[in-house]
Structure 1
Amino acid sequence: MSEVITTEAGPIVGVLALQGDVREHAAVLTALGATVVAVRRLSELEQVQALVIPGGESTTIDKLLRAFDLRDPVIAAIDAGLPVLGSCAGMVLLARDIVGGIEGQQTLGGIPMTVRRNAFGRQVDSAEVALTWEPDGSDMHATFIRAPWVEAYDAGVEVLATVAGRDEDAQGSHAVAVRYGNCIATAFHPEISGDHRVHQLLLDVVASRRD
């Protein structure tokens, strides 16, 4: 039987529960009225109307996806239009290409972008950064923990937030939150900030598919 975090009525959202900030994402989604399923098996993936790929260690999650025979089913679900949110390591996994990955590291694709793994690692291990959330133009405080950022992206990718370059080698700004179709990715950790707009956006995408 699947592990259901809450039985409240609402959209059924899976949180990939192989490694990382699973409980934190589940708590936010529960507060927003979703029913949350911890996804470790294909049968659990098949139940959900959306999926969250949490922060953690992207190389470890990649290896565990393959060990649990979930990598190909998750790719197929994304290709079929399943709404997905990836935060931090989840952003790396949703990228088409990685800069700074380890040998043999694979991604799920989903968003035609190139992500630099651990882009913040040389400067800060953790930082609270004030952003502009572009969908409504309001301020957002975002927590970055050895975070990636987006180095390049295709024309169809919508940038939701950016940060300025953070060392002498970084020019201009970098996207740290993006959307491409039903896929959303953030370099920061929306599950620990107390700001639920990123998760609400995911639920809005689910609702739009049900209308």
Structure 2
Amino acid sequence: MKIGVLALQGAVAEHMRMIEMLGEEAVAIKKVEQLDDIEGIIIPGGESTTIGKLIKKYGFDSALIEFSNKKKPIFGTCAGLIILAKEINGTKDIHLGLMDVKVERNAFGRQRESFETDLEIKGVAEDFRAVFIRAPYIMEVKNDVEVLSVFDDKIVAARQGHLLGVAFHPELTLDPRLHHYFLDMIKEYRR
């Protein structure tokens, strides 16, 4: 399988390493046309406002919505979760508006409040090491969104059909289980 990582800003190389660790081909996506050649895409962490502006500037906004409409899986991590969300607390600006969740940005504090913790993630692991850096969290889920993990009474991982969003950085560990879960989602939607 060919899995894309949106390469506009953020932890691109780290996500690509995880995909390759699992034996699949990773592609850095820098042009809209490349979306035709992949079966799923990861929107990495970084700075959500910057990523959002670059998505719009390079035409990825409508292209990623079309990608999603074809039921091709999308995995958003940290800022990628904010990019996927239908609602961002305190602002009318949304980026893709695909996942029926409301998110709070920088919900665990600034850079110096970054931390790691073990999470139970439904269908993935009972002990997944999660790295939180200026992380958001999901305030509300609607319709058919399934909560996969909660930390400190805050939703930090959820899935809605072919969309997966997490508030942390799974690519900053050497644990490929969450990326493996995403690859299984792609296989499920290929059928």
TM-score, with structure 2 as normaliser: 0.94
Structure 1: distance between partners of 2:155 and 2:7: 26
1:191 aligns with 2:171: yes
Structure 2: distance between partners of 1:110 and 1:142: 24
Q: 1:34 aligns with which of 24, 38, 47?
A: 24
1:16 aligns with 2:6: yes
Q: 1:177 aligns with which of 143, 151, 157?
A: 157
Aligned sequence identity (%): 39
Structure 2: distance between partners of 1:105 and 1:191: 27
1:69-95, CA deviations, whole angstroms, 9 ceiling, x for partnerless residues? 111111111122110110000000111
Shift of 1:106: 2.6
Q: Is the CA contact (8 Å cut-off) linking 1:54 and 1:86 kept in structure 2? A: yes
Unpaired runs of at least 5, structure 1:
1-10, 165-172
Letter of the 1:162 partner, please give it.
Answer: V
Match of 2:96 in 1: 108
Match of 1:150 in 2: 138
* Richer in helix (by share): 2
Q: 2:81 aligns with which of 91, 94, 116?
A: 91
Q: Secondary structure at the match of 1:15?
A: strand
Q: How many residues align?
A: 191
Unpaired runs of at least 5, structure 2:
none
Q: Secondary structure at the match of 1:150?
A: strand
Structure 1: distance between partners of 2:114 and 2:143: 30
- With over 3 angstroms needed to count, the CA separation of the structure-2 counterparts of 1:124 and 1:163, relative to structure 1, is farther
TM-score, with structure 1 as normaliser: 0.86
- With over 3 angstroms needed to count, the CA separation of the structure-2 counterparts of 1:41 and 1:122, relative to structure 1, is closer
Structure 2: distance between partners of 1:136 and 1:203: 12
1:207 aligns with 2:190: no
CA RMSD of aligned residues (A): 1.6
Q: Is the CA contact (8 Å cut-off) linking 1:15 and 1:54 kept in structure 2? A: yes
1:92-115, CA deviations, whole angstroms, 9 ceiling, x for partnerless residues? 0111000145xx633212210000
Structure 2: distance between partners of 1:30 and 1:116: 32
Larger of the two Rg values belongs to structure = 1
Q: Secondary structure at the match of 2:95?
A: coil
Match of 1:45 in 2: 35
Runs of 4+ in 1 over 6 A off after TM superposition: none
